[in-house]
Amino acid sequence: MADKWANLDDAMTASRKKTIAELFAEDPDRAKRFSVEAAGWFLDYSKNRVDRAAMKSLVKLAEESGLKDEIERMFTGEKINRTENRAVLHTALRNCDPAAKVFVDGKDVMPDVRATLARMGDFADRVRTGKWRGYTGKRIRYVVNIGIGGSDLGPVMANLALTPYAKRSLRFFFVSNVDSTHLAETLRAVKPAETLFIVASKTFTTQETMSNARAAREWLVGRLPGVNPNDVVSRHFVAVSTNADEVSKFGIDTANMFGFWDWVGGRYSLPSAIGLSLMIAIGRANYAKFLKGYWKMDCHFRTAKFEKNMPVIMALLGILYSDGYGAETYCCLPYDQYLARFPAYLQQMDMESNGKGVDRDGKPVSRATGPIAWGEPGTNGQHSFYQLIHQGTHLIPCDFIGCCKTHNPIGDLHDKLMANLFAQTEALAFGKTAEQCRAEGVPEELVPFKTFTGNRPTNTLLCKELVPETLGALIALYEHKVFTQGVILNIYSFDQWGVQLGKVLAKGVLADLTAEKPAGGHDGSTAQLIARYRAAVGR
Ligand code: F6P
C-alpha cells in the first residue's frame, strides 16, 4: 500500500510553487473557490499556501487515513478511546434529533442525555426565578463554579462569550486554581446566604477541585452559625460529576447531582451537565440554541464531502503547516471581546488531545503531533506579538475570528475592530515589497526594516453575530478539527496520560513539605527546593 504521507509531499510540492499573492493574481475567483459555509460560519481559507492541486492531495491524505470510517465510529459510540476503553460521544450530548438513538454497550444513551438536560433546565429555572433559595430564604445572587481543566475552561469561556444573554442579576465566578488566592478573592466578592456552589468534577477526586470545594464548604458553614451543616450544604452545594459515591461522601445529596458519563471527555464536556452554570446564566431556551449550534456543525462534519467540510479543511491546512512546513504553533485570534477566553479553552482541547508522542500501536511517532495553540483577542495581540507574526522567522498560521454585528454598538468602534481584522489578514498574505517601500519614499537604509515578506497564511472565520448557536458551532468546529488531525496522525486524541505523573509526584512532594520528617528520595534539585520551602515557612 502506498504511504498516505506521499499526499502531503505532493501537497507541499504544489504549495511551494507560488506565493499567496501569485495564487490570487492567477485566479480571480480564488476567494470564492477557497471559502465554505457551515452552521452560521463562513470560512475564507483563500489566504493559505494552497492551490487546487494541493487541496486535492490533502483531501486524499484524509481519505487514506480512513477518516470517513473514524467519524462514523465516533458518532455511533464505538470505543475509539482504546487506552481507556471508552466510547467518545460528546456529539450525543447535543444530538437534537428527538428520534435519535445512540448505543454504548447495547444501551441507548439518549434517554439519559435528555433526562439530565431536563433536570438541568428545571434546576436552572428554579435558581433564575428565585424558587431555589439559600438556607436563610434569600435568593441566590452568586453562582460559584468550582472545577478545573474541562470542568472550568468551557464554563468560563462560554459564560463570557454569552454575556449578552446572561441574567445580569446573577453573578458568576469560577474557581479553579488550588492557589488559595483564587478562592479567597472569590469568597470576598460573594455573600454566603446568597451563594450557590457548583462543584464540577468528572471524577470528583481532582485535588484542586476537592480542596477548594472542602474549603468553600467550611467557609459557608462557618458563616451560617447554628445551622446544621448538612442543611447548609444541601441548599448551597450541587455537584456535576460521573461519580455518585464521591459526591455523597462529600455530603451533597445525589438528588442535587447532575450526572454525565465516562464517554464524555473532560475537555469535551461543556455540553454535558458541566454547562450547568452556563444554563443558569442564559436560561434553558438559549442553552438549547447553543446545543443546536453544536449539532449543526456535527451534522456538517459527518455528512459534508471533505473538500467542502469546514473542520476537515482546517485540519488539513494545519497538517500542511505543522508536518509540511514545520510550524510548531498556530494562533487563534478572536476579534470579539466576548471570545477572550476562547484561545485558552482551545489550548486544552487541542493540546491535551493531540499532544502525544506515541501512535496507536504504542510506537514513537515519526512526525510532529498536535501543534501548540495560543492566542489573544485580536487588537490586543496586534500591539503585542503580531510583530513576530509579520516579520519574525517563525511561520505562525493564524485563525482570525470575527462577528459582523456587535452586541454593543458604540460609534464606529465595531467598524474599526473589523477593519483591523481584515487588514491584518491582508498584510500577512501580501506583505510589502522593497519596491513599494521605495516608491513611498522610505530611505534606503530603512527599506529592509519596513519590508514585509507576506505569504503568511491565515484563515478567517466570520459569523453574522455571536449568538448561542454560533458559539456552539464554533466549538464543534474546533473539536472536529482536532479529531481529524488525531486520525491523520494516527494517535489517540481522547486520553491524557501525560497529566498523571506530575499529579502522582505532587502527592509525595506534599507529604514531604508537611511531614515532621520528610521521607526524601527526591533528586538533588527537588530536594533542595523542598528544603528551602520548609525553611521559609518554619518547618
Ligand atoms: O488535567 C487532567 C484532567 O483530567 C482534564 O482532562 C480534566 O478536564 C481535568 O483534569 C479535570 O478533571 P475532573 O473534571 O475529573 O475534576
Tally helices (H) and strands (E) across the chain: 24, 13
Active site residue 503: yes
Identify the pLDDT of residue 96: 98
Identify the pLDDT of residue 485: 98
Identify the pLDDT of residue 63: 98
Residue 113 to residue 275: CA distance in whole angstroms: 13
Residue 291 to residue 314: CA distance in whole angstroms: 22
Q: Which positions ≥6 away from 202 have C-beta within 8 Å?
A: 150, 151, 241, 242, 243, 260, 264, 266, 269, 274
CA of 310 to the centre of ligand 1 (A): 28
Q: Helix 180-189 crosses helix 207-223 at what angle (to 10 degrees)? A: 40
Q: What is the pLDDT of residues 304-340, one digit of tens each?
A: 999 999 999 999 999 999 999 999 999 999 999 999 9
Residue whose CA is closest, atom 3 of ligand 1?
Answer: 149
Cβ proximity of 252 and 237 under 8 Å:
yes
* Beta strands 35-38 and 142-146, pairing class: unpaired
Q: What is the pLDDT of residues 268-285, one digit of tens each?
A: 999 999 999 999 999 999
Active site residue 390: no
CA of 202 to the centre of ligand 1 (A): 7
Nearest atom (ligand 1) to Cα of 200: 14
DSSP for 261-314, written as a single string: -TTS-GGG-TTTGGGHHHHHHHHHHHHHHHHHHHHHHHHHHHHS-GGG-HHHHH
Catalytic residue among 208, 352, 469, 479: 352
Pocket test for ligand 1, best of 90, 206, 207, 497 (most atoms within 8 A of CB): 206
Catalytic residue among 305, 383, 516, 517: 383
Q: What angle do CA 54, 55, 61 make, to 5 degrees?
A: 95
E strands, 368-439, in order:
372-374, 398-405
- What is the percent of the chain with per-residue pLDDT over 70, rounded to a whole number? 100
CA of 205 to the centre of ligand 1 (A): 9
For residue 469 the three cell numbers come to 448557536
Among positive and negative, which fits the CA dihedral 458, 461, 466, 471?
A: negative
Confidence of residue 415 (pLDDT cuts 50, 70, 90): very high
Confidence of residue 428 (pLDDT cuts 50, 70, 90): very high
Does the structure show a pLDDT above 90 at 2?
no
Cα torsion through 328, 460, 347, 198, rounded to 10: 180
The pLDDT mean for the chain works out to: 97
Residue 440 to residue 314: CA distance in whole angstroms: 37
Residue 174 to residue 158: CA distance in whole angstroms: 12
- What is the percent of the chain with per-residue pLDDT over 90, rounded to a whole number? 98
Q: What is the DSSP letter of 325?
A: S
Identify the pLDDT of residue 440: 97
Cβ proximity of 221 and 232 under 8 Å:
yes
Identify the pLDDT of residue 519: 95
Give ligand 1 pocket residues (Cβ under 6 A): 148-151, 201-203, 206, 209, 266-267, 352, 496, 499
Does the structure show a pLDDT above 70 at 353?
yes
Does the structure show a pLDDT above 60 at 1?
no
Which residue reads 502531503 in cell numbers?
Answer: 8
Cβ proximity of 310 and 41 under 8 Å:
yes
Residue whose CA is closest, atom 9 of ligand 1?
Answer: 149
Q: What is the pLDDT of residues 148-198, one digit of tens each?
A: 999 999 999 999 999 999 999 999 999 999 999 999 999 999 999 999 999
Active site residue 352: yes
CA of 69 to the centre of ligand 1 (A): 28
Catalytic residue among 17, 249, 503, 507: 503
Strand partners, 398: 331, 458
Average pLDDT over residues 75-87: 98
Q: What is the pLDDT of residues 224-237, one digit of tens each?
A: 888 888 888 999 99
Confidence of residue 44 (pLDDT cuts 50, 70, 90): very high
Average pLDDT over residues 466-474: 98
Does the structure show a pLDDT above 70 at 101?
yes
Q: What is the pLDDT of residues 355-394, one digit of tens each?
A: 999 999 999 999 999 999 999 998 899 999 999 999 999 9
The values of phi and psi at residue 366, to 5°, are -105, 0
